[in-house]
Amino acid sequence: MPSALTLPSLDNVLCNTWTQDDIDYYNKLPYYFVKATGAWQKTWETWSKLLGSVPWTPNAGDTLKEIGVEPTPVLRQQAFPSLLKVNPTADIVHTKERTTTAQLYRHRFVSPHFYFLPAFQDFMGNKVAPARENLNRMTSIYVETFYRTHMFHYSPRVYVCGGTGLLAAPSAAGSPDGSTGKSNAWLAGNVLNKNIGPLTFSELYKALNEFEQVCGATPYEGTQLPSGTSSPLNDKFCLVGQSEVWNAFINDPWVKENRPLNLNILTQGFYGDIFGRVRFRHEKYGMRIKVADADFTPTYPAPETIEMNPDDPEYLRTMPNPDYASLAQIGVAWLVGGANYQIIETGPPPGMFTSSDVNGIIGMDWNGKINMTRNFMVPCVDSDGNVQMEPNSWGEYLRLQAQVVMGIVGFNKFNVMPIFYRRQNTISTLTS
Amino acid sequence: MKTFMALFLGILTCATVLAQEYATATLAVANKLTSVLTTPAKLTKLTLTSTSANTTTFKLYDTTNTVTSNVVYAAYPSVASYPTNYTTTWEHLTGPDASGAYVTNTFTNTFTGIYTYWTAGKASTNERPRTVQITIPGNTTRAVDITRYLKFGLVAQASGTGVVEAEYTK
């Protein structure tokens, strides 16, 4: 066979030559593109369905002040009234008023500025739709996190599993640097330096009793708030926790000792209301704390991260953050009673700001609705090399944006109690 | 049924096999911090052996730090409360007396209330909380079933020489 054959070639003797076509001769695409969707656990709202609501009244100041009536305390365990024949004594009772205040907060969410060209020429042309879905998701998670953060720092008592039990706690606004509210220093010196145990049925029983007897917590009553089995949370408390808490119930010593035979923990898992008093609600992205060995200082690791190694098969995947998923030692669950906090329903912005005008300037929104806008300045470089800003008059860029105004007011802060527990992910045959 | 039993036994075996691990540390020098475990774990059993002639106190800490057993706390507020008297006084007009002047009738009610307050703590340096402290006679061994969920690891220190064996699960 000749080592090289020039094509076309005339008058060949076929038996003497082998004329295979060059496999790299023709044009071809380097990749075969298929659209795919990264899979992630769907987010569901937990807190917004467990809290009540109160409307905000515009044009009435920047602070909501709730005023409530407190009944007379019960001051006796024994009663000795006067005999009928003598002038009777009387109890003089009166009610009191107490107050709490709340203000509104605002946060914005913005996508990158999208240029028209990728949408015109690239395979994954529609960058906007996934960005919109993503913005929706992040807005929802942020608002849930805001409610939870507020309740964490304002809860007047916490429960620490493993022997410490109920603790009076600072009840004030938290801060990003951990200096106020349930500050890093307070957590290090009072909670995280303790022998913290897992959230077992025994702990939960004690926590429930302390929640009811010492904190004076009250159960949900006649509420329309839905529960996991679509019946109301009537006369029950709610335990809000991460799935690992629920999963661990089948390994609970008390459960293993007392479960009915038809509670098949081997293949069906745990189900039912705990002690008949507590209904469980799952929380996605629950609070987890990583404790420093040196001084017990807490950090709150980001729940998720991105794989950054270009050589890794999962390059750029949004995935659980090891610090959050594995290394954070402490988890926070919640015992929740009824009539606890109220989400402030702010209503729309002032009417004159909400309508769109003829120039296409969108109206103001603050309920998390995502707007698509081309109304912003874009940078350009002048002849001197200086960056100048000019209107997006060509309309070749767009972006998505949303903002949320939110507020929460806790008149009965005692009806929410964080529970600190040691995370555990193993199952064993040992009882402990 | 056979499949079910096999599955059950398989899980049981895995759980048992995965359950227990052991770590041993020899405390060759008295009062010296010695590492036993360097990972978070569930401690399930301790076997302490004193190789000293005297009574030996074992102190075990949840840490990986073998340099110091002290910890520095930043300043923080504490919340405390105490009982206090709550007194309420009302004055009621009861009407005119014989001279025509109005008189008042005063009621005073006192009961025990509670006063909750914040106190400002100062930064401090203290001994790290002990996970376990056990004292045993000299030249003896004691096995203790114990459950502790270690956040960091286990470091031991004893007043004499000895051996610490820890049984744990991860």
Whether B128 sits inside 8 A of A188 (CB atoms) is no
Model ipTM?
0.79
Task: List the one residue out of A194, A427, A106 whose CA is nearest residue B42.
Answer: A427
Q: CA of B2, closest CA in chain A: separation in Å?
A: 16
Read off the pLDDT of residues A6-55 as tens digits, 9 standing for 90 and up.
667 777 777 776 777 777 878 877 777 676 666 665 666 889 889 999 99
Q: Is the pLDDT of residue A332 over 60?
A: yes
Q: What pLDDT does A276 receive?
A: 86
pLDDT score, position A118: 86
CB B27 within 8 A of CB B34: yes
pLDDT of res. A225: 54
Q: What pLDDT is attached to residue A28?
A: 79
pLDDT in tens, A159-182: 999 999 999 999 999 999 999 999
pLDDT digits (tens, 9 = 90+) for A134-152: 888 899 999 999 999 999 9
Are B132 and B64 in the same domain? yes
Alpha-carbon distance of A253 to A10, in angstroms, equals 88
Q: According to the model, what pLDDT value does residue A132 have?
A: 87
Closest in B73, B107, B147 to A188, CB measured:
B73
Q: Inter-chain contact A424–B42, Cβ cutoff 8 Å?
A: yes
pTM here is 0.86
Report the percentage of chain A scoring pLDDT > 90.
56
How many angstroms away from the CA of A191 is the closest CA of chain B? 11
Instruction: Find out whether A393 and A313 touch, Cβ atoms under 8 Å.
Output: no
Q: Mark yes or no for CB contact A195/B79 under 8 Å.
A: no
Residue A359: predicted pLDDT: 66
- Maximum Cα interatomic distance, chain B, rounded to a whole number of Å: 104
Mean pLDDT computed over A116-121: 86
pLDDT at residue number A20: 73
Would you mind telling me the total number of residues written for chain B in this entry?
A: 170
Match 């009191």 to its residue by tokens.
A96
Nearest CA in chain B to A428: B15
Q: In this model, does residue B13 exceed pLDDT 50? A: no
Provide the pLDDT confidence category of residue A1 given band limits of 50, 70 and 90: very low
Question: What CATH number is associated with residue B150?
Answer: 2.60.120.380
| Residue range A245-265, pLDDT digits in tens | 999 988 888 888 888 888 887
Q: Which helix (H) or strand (E) holds A10?
A: none
In a domain, B3, yes or no: no
Average pLDDT over residues B39-50: 95
Contacts with A168 from chain B: Cβ below 8 Å: 79-81, 116
A387/A385 Cα distance (integer angstroms): 7
pLDDT of residue A32: 72
Residue of B63, B80, B169 with shortest CB distance to A168: B80
Number of domains in chain B: 2
Q: Lowest-pLDDT range, A113-117, A208-212, A268-272, B134-138?
A: A268-272
CB spacing of A430 vs B111 below 8 angstroms:
no
pLDDT of residue A64: 94
pLDDT at position A231, please? 59
Query: Once rounded to an integer, what is the mean pLDDT over residues A409-422?
Result: 96
Q: Where are the domains of chain A?
A: 47-60+117-346+408-422, 351-405
pLDDT-based confidence at A369, cuts 50/70/90?
confident
- Residue A358: what pLDDT? 60
Closest C-alpha to A426, from B152, B18, B151: B18
Q: Has residue A364 got a pLDDT over 60?
A: yes
Question: What is the per-residue pLDDT across B103-140, written as a single tens digit (0 to 9) for each?
Answer: 666 666 677 888 999 998 899 999 999 999 999 999 99
Write out the residues of chain B at the interface with chain A, using a CB-CB cutoff of 8 A.
8, 11-12, 15-16, 18-19, 40, 42, 44, 62-65, 71-81, 88, 90, 107, 109, 111, 116, 118, 121, 128-129, 131, 147-149, 151-153, 169-170
**b/e map A239-273, b = 16+ CB within 10 Å:** bbbbebbbebbbbbeebeeebeeeeebeeeebeeb
User: Residue A397, Cβ neighbours under 10 Å: how many?
Assistant: 16
pLDDT tens for residues A309-320?
A: 999 999 999 999
pLDDT value, residue B94: 65
Same domain, B25 and B54: yes
Average pLDDT, chain A: 87
For B145-166, b where at least 16 C-beta lie within 10 A, e where not — what string? ebebbbbbbbbbbbbbbbbbbb
Query: How far B170 CA sits from the closest chain A CA (Å)?
Result: 7
Residues 6+ apart with CB under 8 A from A391: A377, A378
Kindly tell me if the per-residue pLDDT of A230 is higher than 70: no
Q: Identify which of A108, A39, A52, A6 has the alpha carbon closest to the alpha carbon of residue A344.
A: A52
pLDDT tens, position by position, A338-350: 889 999 999 888 8
Establish, for the pair of chains A and B, how many residue pairs have beta carbons separated by less than 8 Å: 98
Q: Is residue B11 pLDDT above 60, yes or no?
A: no
Digit-coded pLDDT (tens) for A85-107: 988 888 878 888 999 999 999 99
* Cα(A221)–Cα(A224) distance, integer angstroms: 9
From chain A, pick out residues whose CB is under 8 angstroms from the CB of B106. none
Closest Cα to residue B162, out of B32, B75, B62?
B32
Q: Which of B15, B64, B71 sits opposite A427 (nearest CB)?
A: B15
A292-308 confidence digits (pLDDT tens): 999 999 999 999 999 99
Task: Tell me which residue range forms the domain holding B116.
Answer: 77-120
Interface test with B, best of A76, A427, A431 (most B CBs within 10 A): A427
pLDDT at B97: 72
- Asked, for residue B5, whether it belongs to a domain, the answer is no
- On the question of pLDDT at A4 being above 70, the answer is no
Are both B92 and B116 inside the same structural domain? yes
Average pLDDT, chain B: 85
Q: Does residue B14 fall inside a structural domain?
A: no
Nearest to A400 by CA among A181, A192, A191, A109: A109
CA distances from A13 to A2, A16, A20, A21, B115 (A): 12, 6, 15, 17, 111
- Nearest chain A residue to B125 by CA distance is A295
Across A56-60, A193-197, A351-355, A371-375, the highest mean pLDDT is recorded for A193-197
Domain assignment present for residue B95? The answer is: yes
- pLDDT confidence bin for B154, thresholds 50/70/90: very high
Q: Which chain A residues touch B if contact means CB-CB below 8 Å?
A: 73, 75, 92, 94, 156, 162, 168-171, 183-186, 188-190, 193-198, 266, 291, 293-297, 329-330, 422, 424, 426-430, 432
Lowest mean pLDDT among A43-47, A68-72, A400-404: A43-47
8 Å CB contact of A189 and B76: yes
pLDDT computed for residue A23 by the predictor: 78
pLDDT, average across residues A196-203: 94
Whole-number percent of chain A with pLDDT over 70: 90
